[in-house]
Amino acid sequence: MKKLRTASGIPYYNHEDSQTVGPRGPVLIQDFILHEKMAHFNRERIPERMVHAKGSGAFGTFTVTQDISHLTKAKLFDKLGKETKVFLRFSTVGGEKGSADTERDPRGFAVKFYTEDGNWDLVGNNTPIFFVKDPKKFSDFIHTQKRDPYTNCKNPTMTWDFFSLNPETIHQVMFLMSDRGTPYGYRFMHGFGSHTYSMYNNGNKRIFVKFHFKSMQGIKNFSAIEAQNMKSQDPDFAQRDLVSAIDNLDFPKWKLNIQVMTEEQSALLDFNPFDLTKTWSQKQFPLIEVGILELNRNPKNYFVDVEQSAFSPSRIVDGIGFSPDRMLQGRILSYPDAQRYRLGTNYELIPVNACPFMTQNYQRDGAMRTDSNGEDCPNYYPNSFDDISEDISYKRPVEELASNIADHYWRNADGENDHYTQPGLFYRTVLSENEQKSLIENIINAMSSIDGPKRKEIITRQLCHFFRVDMGLGMAIAKGLNIHIHENQPFIC
């Protein structure tokens, strides 16, 4: 029989009855077991993620199926059939940790590849684009998705006010309001690295790259009404669906593809390839298959592996690089900062975040240092005692920048302001007729909740964006909102 013990290992006998003076008397302060139980319980919660607080995760494997070693020297891609362990966390974005899985929202798709050259995190969404294109706008945007400071409720007026004042949001708004905004759990959706990253090969030749994970289960979405119903039937639908599939050995899989653009091509395009509100045409930049990601092991303990997992776009490995994408640059700074706050300075020692191969550096001490802390090895560099040295083969290629003039360049200046062509194509060529109908219905329902003195102004401003995307789309939404527009008298935008 195992003994019941305190956290410091002391066996004790009573876990249920406090020590009291007589059977009906007051509790004694010396019952330290009682204190320990209550105090630890009071500290069980850690801050939830500022965004993407509700999520599900699983371990798995990435297997290379096509040789791309001419494009990158990243070791995880260096051999056909090579397997790399991964951890993937899916999430919704705006809701709190206890919110429903079927809320209309983008879904997070964050993968940690445990490579021999360190952990590579690809922290993306189920959408190839995003609402904003400058990191300075992220906190304002997220405030509109969270609770109203006065009512403490979600507020569609502030959401649509923000969308209507920021035309660059329209592409992602179209995606969000379609049925892809309510995927059927996490298995039936694609994942995207979304940003433009770069890769370089052994000759240090750099190319730009986008990552696409295509669901091998296919795409399946809830309709708005089904998603709404599921919220009350099973708010944890996506969590349950993922755990059950893996428990039943029905391992979900995604095919990883890349799109590749040369540096020369990037300079000649008629749009900014580093703008996160735009996609790259797959006709011009066809998908190249790279490998298959399979999820095949549920974490034994949710808190340990899922809640404490920490992903950051700053974690890239040799052979993979950043790009001038402003949003990516902002995220490089933001995530480790958030994680030092959320999990503490030594969060990379937590097993799910730790590199299973090797870490050697001169970081020491800090709260919750649970490894050997470098033992008695030197804690400074250079030194005359250890044999750790910088390896020149890991030097990244030099980068040539397009300008040497610093300023606050307007993100939507001429040449950066075609917000409507790609959403128009999405509406007309990607969505089926039924999907177009759901999109229109979902937008009408969502915009009907805009209220207050600025209602008309916000609706008019947002309608202008829909008209610019597609006249038919704008007309259908206007009709649904009971706004009458005469055919010969164009809507003034």
Dist CA 159 CA 165 (whole Å): 10
Q: Which long-range contacts (CB under 8 A, 24 or more apart) does 152-161 make?
A: 154/94, 156/446, 156/447, 156/449, 156/450, 157/449, 157/450, 157/451, 157/452, 157/454, 157/455, 157/458, 160/446, 160/447, 160/450, 160/458, 160/459, 160/462, 161/454, 161/458
Q: Of 333-352, which residues contact ligand HEM (CB under 6 A)? A: 334-335, 338-339, 342
Among 74, 256, 258, 327, binds ligand HEM (CB under 6 A): 327
Nearer to ligand HEM, 228 or 329 (CB): 329
How many positions of this chain bind ligand HEM (CB under 6 A)?
A: 27
Nearer to ligand HEM, 51 or 86 (CB): 51
Among 331, 411, 419, 465, binds ligand HEM (CB under 6 A): 331
Minimum CB separation from ligand HEM for residue 312, in Å?
7
3-state secondary structure of 90: strand
Catalytic residue positions, numbered: 52, 125
Alpha helix locations (H) across 405-454? 421-425, 433-448
Q: Which helix (H) or strand (E) holds 292?
A: strand 288-297
Among 54, 73, 89, 419, binds ligand HEM (CB under 6 A): 89
Closest residue to ligand HEM: CB criterion: 108
| Residue 463 contacts ligand HEM per CB under 6 A | no
Cis peptide, bond prior to residue 382, ω within 30 of zero: yes
Cβ neighbours around 342 below 10 Å, total: 16
Minimum CB separation from ligand HEM for residue 89, in Å?
4
Stretch that binds ligand HEM, among 46-54, 288-296, 358-366, 451-459 (CB under 6 A): 46-54
Dist CA 435 CA 282 (whole Å): 21
The site string for ligand HEM over 291-310 (x = CB under 6 A, - otherwise) reads ------------------xx
As a residue count, the chain comes to 493
| Residue 444 contacts ligand HEM per CB under 6 A | no
Is residue 120 within 8 A of residue 113, CB to CB? The reply is yes
Reading the block at residue 430, the tokens are 């990607």
- Neighbour-count burial for 306-332, b at 16+ CB within 10 Å, e otherwise: bbbbbbbbbbbbbbbbbbbbbbbbbbb
Minimum CB separation from ligand HEM for residue 295, in Å?
14
| Residue 183 contacts ligand HEM per CB under 6 A | no
Closest CA to 63 of 42, 84, 46, 48: 84
N- to C-terminal Cα distance for the chain? 77
Minimum CB separation from ligand HEM for residue 138, in Å?
4
Nearer to ligand HEM, 342 or 369 (CB): 342
Task: Kindly tell me the sign of the dihedral angle through the C-alpha atoms of 351, 353, 357, 360.
Answer: negative
Dist CA 480 CA 93 (whole Å): 28
| Residue 50 contacts ligand HEM per CB under 6 A | yes
| Residues with Cβ within 8 Å of residue 403, at least 6 apart in sequence | none
Reading the block at residue 155, the tokens are 């507020």
Reading the block at residue 436, the tokens are 């177009």
| Residues with Cβ within 8 Å of residue 45, at least 6 apart in sequence | none
Nearer to ligand HEM, 138 or 188 (CB): 138
| Residue 194 contacts ligand HEM per CB under 6 A | yes
Nearer to ligand HEM, 352 or 478 (CB): 352
Minimum CB separation from ligand HEM for residue 207, in Å?
20
Nearer to ligand HEM, 310 or 440 (CB): 310
Nearer to ligand HEM, 327 or 440 (CB): 327
Stretch that binds ligand HEM, among 45-53, 258-266, 296-304, 435-443 (CB under 6 A): 45-53
| Residue 335 assigned as binding residue | yes
Angle between helix 156-165 and 138-145 (nearest 10): 150
Among 52, 75, 104, 468, binds ligand HEM (CB under 6 A): 52
The site string for ligand HEM over 125-144 (x = CB under 6 A, - otherwise) reads x----x----x--x------
Stretch that binds ligand HEM, among 150-158, 248-256, 324-332, 383-391 (CB under 6 A): 324-332
| Residue 43 burial class via C-beta count within 10 angstroms: exposed 0-12, middle 13-18, buried 19 and up | exposed
Give the CB-side neighbour count of residue 60, counting CA atoms within 13 A. Answer: 23
The site string for ligand HEM over 94-123 (x = CB under 6 A, - otherwise) reads --------------x-x------------x
Give the CB-side neighbour count of residue 39, counting CA atoms within 13 A. Answer: 8
Minimum CB separation from ligand HEM for residue 310, in Å?
5
3-state secondary structure of 104: coil
Minimum CB separation from ligand HEM for residue 134, in Å?
8
Nearer to ligand HEM, 231 or 342 (CB): 342
Known binding site for heme: residues?
335
Residues that bind ligand HEM (CB under 6 A): 49-52, 55, 89, 91, 108, 110, 123-125, 130, 135, 138, 194, 309-311, 327, 330-331, 334-335, 338-339, 342
Known binding site: residues?
335
